[in-house]
Amino acid sequence: MAFDEMLTADDHPRSPYRDYHTWYAGQHPAHLIQKARDAENIFRKTGITFAVYGHADSSEKLIPFDIIPRIIAAREWRRLAQGIEQRVLALNAFLEDIYHKQEIIRAGRIPRELIEKNDAFLPEMIGFRPPGGVYTHVVGTDIVRTGEDQFYVLEDNARTPSGVSYMLENRETMMQMFPELFTLNRVRRVEDYPKQLRQSLASLAPSGCTGRPCVAVLTPGIHNSAYYEHAFLADSMGVELVEGSDLRVIDGRVKMRTTRGYEEIDVLYRRVDDEFLDPLTFRPDSALGIPGIMDVYRAGNITIANAPGTGIADDKAIYSYMPEIVEFYTGRKPMLENVPTWRCSEPSSLAYVLEHLEELVVKEVHGSGGYGMLVGPTATKKERSEFAAKLSARPANYIAQPTLSLSTVPIFVNKGIAPRHVDLRPYVLVSDTVKIIPGGLTRVALKQGSLVVNSSQGGGTKDTWVLED
């Protein structure tokens, strides 16, 4: 029986949900059904969509939004925030070390080939210190809960975590539809995120930048699955949304083509992957990037957020070493636990995983978005045996984890409420300080019993409340 965050086993509301539960009991079901429809209309009208790749006639989809909030108590949040801060600091220290002295390798805490044979490791970054020494300006730490006090970090998204626009739009929608709930509950604000992101990015402008730094968001364009978010962030920060074709390196600076000439950019919040960033340095066939931007970057004339090469820190193969990494750089045990992980590259682990496929979740080391993974307990026998063949052929490509009994939060269905599994992605901004936005994106598996929360696989989202003390 999974831990339900709203209701105890005998159907009493847990403390953070008490006021909400009372309010809910006083609502007319027909009224709530109408509200759920209104919410969908708001999203459709606003064009809050994402694209699912490889789907016919689905260039734009809505992510289903559930009207029941996920509520986190102040005490629970404090604990999470401390653990996240520790982890994010460790990630940055790890990146700094990996691209400089590599002390963690010399200390024998992680194997050298894991770093140097990894595609996410960029030799171009060796010996280079990004402005302010910050590698991961924006982090999304995926957290799951399995009990009253049991939280695990599932993934550290240190490259270009997405979804923050949903956090903001979900809150906006909830406040529009249920204003009274925000007088009943003291919910901490998330609305300042764009302002804080802009401040945080501007504060890390290259040291040569005098005056107000020019910040821009780099998008692959309107066909990218997260285009809505790129436009949303640029718009709410009040900065330009640029594509590679708008930018050019002129006189050692990155400049954008405007209606009155070329203008310099100081900080580029890029939502384009490393390998597409600079066709002169990485993939020569990339049309999304800016030829020569890496030279400008290494000369210290532009800040790129997140820094190129941060992917080495959120690689799934590295993930299993995170407890060692946190301890090595912070000198303390991690406050948030890792999910126990079998590295299939190790023969004994591979043997265990193959024998216990029906209990485990097996993931591709470099995969994301819920693609290419096997959820053992719900897979068919045929799916398992097919997966076992792939796994045996390239074991180093996979890790495996036990199937966690993720906590549930009720969603609203026509008959009332029904528990569904959730995870949580809080957003963290790193500059000279670490700011954790009180809230985040709660993803929910809408199918009964399903543990897959990814939006590309039928997941939805919820507004996430962190209560004041």
Partner 1 sequence: MLLGRTANGLYWMFRYIERAENIARLVDAGLRVSLTRFDSGDDDWDGVLQSAGARQAYAEVHSTATSADAVDYLLRDRHNPSSVMSCIEAGRNNARMVRTALTRETWEATNECWIDLKAHLARRPKAADLPELIDVIKHRCGLIRGAFHGSMLRNDIYNFSRIGTFIERADNTSRILDVKYYVLLPAVSQVGSSLDNMQWESILRSVSAHRSYGWVYDGEHRPANIADFLILNGRMPRSLAYSYSKITSNLHYLEREYGLRPQAIDTAETINAMLTRGSIVDIMDHGLHEFLEEFISRNNQLGREISEGYRFYQ
CB-based contacts of 413, cutoff 8 Å, min separation 6: none
Distances (CA, A) of 354 to 154, 176, 388, 390: 22, 50, 7, 11
- Burial status of residue 254 (CB atoms within 10 A of its CB: 0-12, 13-18, 19 or more): buried
Out of 257, 333, 356, 394, the only residue in the binding site for partner 1 (CB under 8 A) is 257
From 122-130, 230-238, 380-388, 410-418, span contacting partner 1 (CB under 8 A): 230-238
Smallest distance, partner 1 to C-beta of residue 148, A: 42
Looking at residue 171, what DSSP letter applies? Answer: H
Out of 38, 240, 327, 337, the only residue in the binding site for partner 1 (CB under 8 A) is 240
285, amino acid identity: D
The CB density around residue 90, as the number of other CB atoms within 10 Å, is 23
From 93-101, 105-113, 233-241, 407-415, span contacting partner 1 (CB under 8 A): 233-241
| Residue 155 dihedral angles phi and psi, to the nearest 5° | -160, 150
Contact between residue 230 and residue 271 where contact means Cβ atoms under 8 Å apart: yes
Smallest distance, partner 1 to C-beta of residue 249, A: 15
Cα 164 to Cα 149: distance, rounded to the nearest angstrom: 26
Contact between residue 322 and residue 109 where contact means Cβ atoms under 8 Å apart: no
Smallest distance, partner 1 to C-beta of residue 325, A: 38
Q: Considering the rule CB under 8 A, would residue 333 count as an interface residue with partner 1?
A: no
Out of 258, 385, 392, 448, the only residue in the binding site for partner 1 (CB under 8 A) is 258
Out of 110, 242, 400, 406, the only residue in the binding site for partner 1 (CB under 8 A) is 242
Among positions 72-131, residues that touch partner 1 (CB under 8 A) are none
Judged by CB under 8 A, the number of residues near partner 1 is 23
Nearer to partner 1, 221 or 370 (CB): 221
Distances (CA, A) of 365 to 84, 157, 213, 319: 22, 13, 37, 9
192, amino acid identity: D
3-state secondary structure of 363: strand
Distances (CA, A) of 443 to 144, 305, 431: 10, 25, 27
Smallest distance, partner 1 to C-beta of residue 434, A: 28
Smallest distance, partner 1 to C-beta of residue 242, A: 7
Among positions 19-78, residues that touch partner 1 (CB under 8 A) are 44-47
Q: Considering the rule CB under 8 A, would residue 245 count as an interface residue with partner 1?
A: yes
Q: Considering the rule CB under 8 A, would residue 250 count as an interface residue with partner 1?
A: no
Nearer to partner 1, 144 or 265 (CB): 265
Nearer to partner 1, 263 or 355 (CB): 263
For 15-19, which contacts have Cβ atoms below 8 Å and span 24 or more sequence positions? 15/73, 16/71, 16/72, 16/73, 16/76, 16/467, 17/71, 19/184, 19/185
Nearer to partner 1, 8 or 46 (CB): 46
Nearer to partner 1, 257 or 356 (CB): 257
Nearer to partner 1, 172 or 327 (CB): 172
Nearer to partner 1, 249 or 256 (CB): 256
CB-based contacts of 124, cutoff 8 Å, min separation 6: 281, 294, 298, 308, 309
CB-based contacts of 78, cutoff 8 Å, min separation 6: none
Out of 4, 40, 246, 324, the only residue in the binding site for partner 1 (CB under 8 A) is 246
Out of 68, 256, 313, 411, the only residue in the binding site for partner 1 (CB under 8 A) is 256
Find tokens 């936005």 and name the residue.
437
Q: Considering the rule CB under 8 A, would residue 235 count as an interface residue with partner 1?
A: yes
3-state secondary structure of 250: strand
From 68-76, 236-244, 305-313, 326-334, span contacting partner 1 (CB under 8 A): 236-244
Nearer to partner 1, 24 or 43 (CB): 43
Out of 234, 268, 325, 344, the only residue in the binding site for partner 1 (CB under 8 A) is 234
Terminal Cα-to-Cα distance of the chain (whole angstroms): 30
Q: Considering the rule CB under 8 A, would residue 243 count as an interface residue with partner 1?
A: yes
Q: Considering the rule CB under 8 A, would residue 212 count as an interface residue with partner 1?
A: no
Residues that bind partner 1 (CB under 8 A): 44-47, 221-222, 227, 231, 234-235, 240-243, 245-246, 256-261, 263
